[in-house]
Amino acid sequence: MATQQVVAGRQRRTEAPKGLDMVQYRIVKALSTPTPYLTAMGVGLWLFTYWVLCEGLEVWRFTKLPGPVAISKDWFSPEPFQGISIFTQEYYQHIYVSCQRIAIAFAIATGVGVPLGLFMGWSKKVRDYAFPLLEIFRPIPILAWVPLSILLLPGFEGPVIFLATLASLFVTTLNAMLGVDSIDDDYFRAAGCLGSSKWDVFKNVVVPGALPYIFTGLQISIGVAWFSLVAAEMVSGDLGLGYLIVDAYMNNVTVPMVIGMITLGFIGYVTSVMVRIVGDKLMQWQVRELAQQDR
Amino acid sequence: MTKQNASKKGAAATKGAISIRNVTKIYDPEGVNVKAVDNCSMEIAGGEICMIVGPSGCGKSTLLNAIAGFHSITEGQIDVDGEMLCGPGREKADQGADRMVVFQNGALFPWKTLVENVAYGPMVQGALNKAQAMDKAGTMLAEAGLGDVINKFPGEVSSGMSRRAEIVRALINDPKVLLLDEPYRAMDALTKQIMHESLLETYDRTKVTIFFITHDLEEAIFLGDKAHVVTTRPCQLKKTVEVNIPRPRSYETQSSEAFRALLSEVNEAVHEEAVKAFQAGEREMA
Amino acid sequence: MGNSTVQKRSKLSKMLRSTELRRGIMAIFVFLVIWQFGALIDDWTGYDMLGIGLVPPPIDVLITWGDVIPNIGYWQSWVSSFQRVLAGFLVAMIVGIPFGLLLAVNKYFRGIFFPPFEILRPIPPLAWVPASLIFWPTNEMSIAFVTFLGAFFTIVINVLGGARAIDVRYLRAAQSMGASQWHLFSRIILPGTLPSIFTGAAVGMGITWEVVLAAEMISGGGTQGGGGLGFFIWSSYMGGSLEHIVVGMISIGIAGYLCSSSIRQLGILFMPWRRLF
């Protein structure tokens, strides 16, 4: 089953390229479109503007903020001027603490929210009782819970994790419920015809059928968890990336502040991608169907 | 659980005889009564292919749904092999593997492969364990010409293949009745031909009772033993046309005189209803 | 056929008798009872039932609320918060919708400006607060900026998604009837994107409230009178009154709900051809 090698794209293929050939093919193909060049241009333009405003021309109040040069100098140096770089242990401590909190919050929210949402979608009875309560609590912004959670829960970690969990929980539950709603009636009927018990229906129709919505919900919920976590960390003052940002601000060192922001953005993005990858793994049937359509 | 049946319609295996008697179904959406079926009666012999023909939205699906146990009926009674399915005292039949449905838009579980789909019924009913079920499913799929794709997902194969697989999924449970609700509606004419031949071949092997709803008149005459023409909403039996063309049938049959004669007979009966339906602006009902 | 008034009346009475409503009311009732009892049990026995007892019971909250309502400072908080929310939200819509549409419609614009946008988007809006406080000369402007950011990203993403999802057949149909570029844009792309604009607006509104709240709690309310509902909660916390905290929470919940509801109603008004979620 030999595949033809790409020779300046001239050879005809009889089979789809595999493995390394496929990677090569994709790269060559991508480079022939304007997209990567535009992206480079866009990012370059943005970085340039940023530099010009903060360091190059020192426009107006932009001087108060650190420019890209100042940031990279500190971030990548073993002896950072303002205290945080990829070489300092403190940096990783903050990252670790925030990530740990997110992991706990996300795990609890998913572990409670998904089953709850699935039951709410599946059983009208459960939904009739639970949904009104959910809808009453949902409009209350997460941050409004801050004072109450500080008073009711012990220590520092408690309120912080509680807030992130709560935010995620609402999103996850709602999406799981909507996921069950989205399942075509015919699948339930087919399962019934085939002699399924209620539990069979739950395992074989409700859970897989709701998965797409569940994972969309999980991607949103992890974003929301980060949002709430940062807010809580900024207010409750312990460790963590949110705290790093506020602390740097308080101590007038702006570089760690921006490093914190960038790191947050990056890690937030990575966690979101991780959720998506897990989703793709579990929903092979969707991935393969889309591949058929060459998407 | 097969029951002993005393059928008067003669000959060998007559399981799956359906008796629909004076069935009326009234929906109540939004407080406005909708009479879908009105005092409809028909008899379907065991082992026969029975085609239900009529215009859109006239309530044909309602009958199928009642037999399958998806909806209740308001009045009347439906029996299968002499035993009451639904009727006075029990308005909604239980769903069961003795009456398998093949759905219009296809209801193979998208998250299971074809072989997993087919094996699902026996596994879940406890009739076979997993290994046996997968084995039997694989064999039956191969018999239906799908041997190469048993491990693919429904989204990866053509509609013709997935519809055939769905029929296999129904038949592996050895049902008394196969309920088909316009299963080939969304297909092009060429694929339909293949589907017809495949269905007939399956029928010749298993002699399962088939209750088939369609718009396509040629399909009705080609496949059926009887074609029941029903009126627009509310649904009533208007005319029954007996199709005496001998089996096995092939596509040459379609050009025979007998075929053409039957076709025009059915056409006459249906056309009147089709015009009425069109004027009433019917929309497809569930 | 038939009289619509009779049908409407029977529909309403049907709804009132429905199981769904009964169960919902029962659930809320049971919840309130447990809440009230939790506090009472804590008073009598000192056992706080996992913290439920520590929260002030509904009756106390209502009494406090009764005290607060005639106080004009309370209503001024409402006004302040609303003002901030609307300001940030409106600017986000004014800037975000055209930006999103431009991204959707012009692939060169998208190629250049989408990557930086996507790089900045994962940074939580509140992480911008300190930087914003440093940069902007006044507190109010800093809060406004962060509020704007919060809603902006959401609105743009939704608009982009909606515009790109418009069935290309609508465009082709219009083109074949001789539509100009502008016509295509104003008559097809714009209305076609409306649902996504409203979805983005609804979600963005939620984020805006969160951010305004956080900003009010952190920065102490700014220069206007009242200081906003966030400040109300924070000062209640400082003052040690749990009842006021809960009153504040419920008030904000109501305020947020009113805003989302209005957006949904506007959506129905602008898009009669669709039923929104």
Q: Which residues of B touch C18 (CB under 8 A)?
A: none
Q: Which of A39, A128, A246 sits opposite C24 (nearest CB)?
A: A128
CB contact under 8 A, A197 and B124: yes
Question: A166 and A23, same structural domain?
Answer: no
A289 in reach of chain B (CB within 8 A): yes
Q: Which residues of A touch B100 (CB under 8 A)?
A: 193-194
Rounded Cα gap, residues B102 and B121, in angstroms: 14
Domain that residue A33 falls in: 19-73
In chain B, where the domains are located: 18-98+175-280, 107-174
* Residue whose C-alpha is closest to residue A68's, from A55, A85, A80, A87: A55
Question: A68 and A104, same structural domain?
Answer: no
User: At A153, which CATH number?
Assistant: 1.10.3720.10
Q: Which of C131, C214, C248 sits opposite A258 (nearest CB)?
A: C131
Q: Which residue of A has its CA nearest to B125?
A: A195
- Decide which of A42, A73, A104 is a domain's last residue: A73
B30 in reach of chain C (CB within 8 A): yes
- The H-assigned helical ranges of chain A are 19-31, 35-51, 68-75, 89-122, 124-137, 146-152, 157-181, 185-193, 198-201, 207-236, 241-250, 254-282, 284-292
Q: Please give the structure tokens belonging to residue C27.
A: 């659930």
- Decide which of A73, A107, A139 is a domain's last residue: A73
CB contact under 8 A, A193 and B103: no
**How many degrees, rounded to 5, is the angle at CA A42 between CA A41 and CA A45?**
80
Question: A232 and A158, same structural domain?
Answer: yes
pTM, entire model: 0.81
Question: A186 and A42, same structural domain?
Answer: no
Distance from CA of B113 to the nearest CA of A (A): 8
Q: Which of A144, A264, A269 sits opposite C248 (nearest CB)?
A: A144
pLDDT in the model for residue C3: 46
- Look at the alpha carbons of B108, B114, B120, B121 in this order and tell me if their dihedral is positive or negative: positive
Q: Which of C122, C210, C257 sits opposite A268 (nearest CB)?
A: C122
Sequence length of chain C is 277
Q: Is residue A174 part of a domain?
A: yes
Confidence of residue A12 (pLDDT cuts 50, 70, 90): low
Total beta-carbon pairs less than 8 A apart between chain A and chain C:
170
A87 in reach of chain C (CB within 8 A): no
B31 in reach of chain C (CB within 8 A): yes
Question: A145 and A27, same structural domain?
Answer: no
Q: Is residue A13 part of a domain?
A: no
Residue C97 half-sphere exposure, CB side, CA atoms within 13 Å? 17
Architecture of domain B18-98+175-280: 3-Layer(aba) Sandwich (3.40)
Could you identify the residue written with the tokens 């922001």? A261
Q: Which residues of A touch C113 (CB under 8 A)?
A: 42
List per-residue pLDDT tens for chain B, 286 residues long.
333 333 333 333 457 888 888 888 888 766 677 788 888 888 888 888 999 988 776 678 888 888 888 888 888 888 888 888 888 878 788 888 888 999 888 889 999 999 999 999 899 888 888 899 999 999 999 888 888 888 989 988 888 888 889 999 998 988 889 999 888 887 888 888 888 888 888 888 888 899 999 988 888 889 988 888 888 777 888 888 888 888 878 878 888 888 888 888 888 888 888 887 777 765 544 3
Q: Please give the structure tokens belonging to residue C143.
A: 């809060």
- Look at the alpha carbons of A265, A270, A271, A275 in this order and tell me if their dihedral is positive or negative: positive
β-pairing, B34-44 vs B49-53, is unpaired
- DSSP letter for B95, please: P
Question: A141 and A286, same structural domain?
Answer: yes
Task: State the CB neighbour count (10 A cutoff) for residue B5.
Answer: 16
Distance from CA of A51 to the nearest CA of C (A): 14
Helix (H) / strand (E) element for B281: namely none
Total beta-carbon pairs less than 8 A apart between chain A and chain B:
76
Q: Is residue A2 part of a domain?
A: no
SS3 content of chain C, % helix, strand, coil (to 5): 85, 0, 15
Rounded Cα gap, residues A23 and B246, in angstroms: 60
Q: Is residue A105 part of a domain?
A: yes
pLDDT digits over A192-231, tens only?
888 888 898 999 999 999 998 898 889 889 988 998 998 8
Q: Is B115 helix (H, G, I), strand (E, B) or coil?
A: helix
pLDDT digits over A158-174, tens only?
888 999 999 999 999 99
Q: Which residues of A touch C123 (CB under 8 A)?
A: 261-262, 264-265, 268
- Judge contact between C164 and C101, C-beta under 8 A: no
Distance from CA of C136 to the nearest CA of A (A): 8
Question: A231 and A126, same structural domain?
Answer: yes
Count how many domains chain A has: 2
CB contact under 8 A, C218 and A235: yes
CB contact under 8 A, B124 and A289: no
Q: Please give the structure tokens belonging to residue A237.
A: 């003052």
Walk me through the domains of chain C, giving residue ranges and CATH numbers: 4-55 (no CATH), 64-270 (1.10.3720.10)
Q: Which residues of A touch B105 (CB under 8 A)?
A: 184, 186
Q: Which residues of B touch A283 (CB under 8 A)?
A: 111
pLDDT digits over C137-163, tens only?
887 788 888 889 988 998 898 888 877
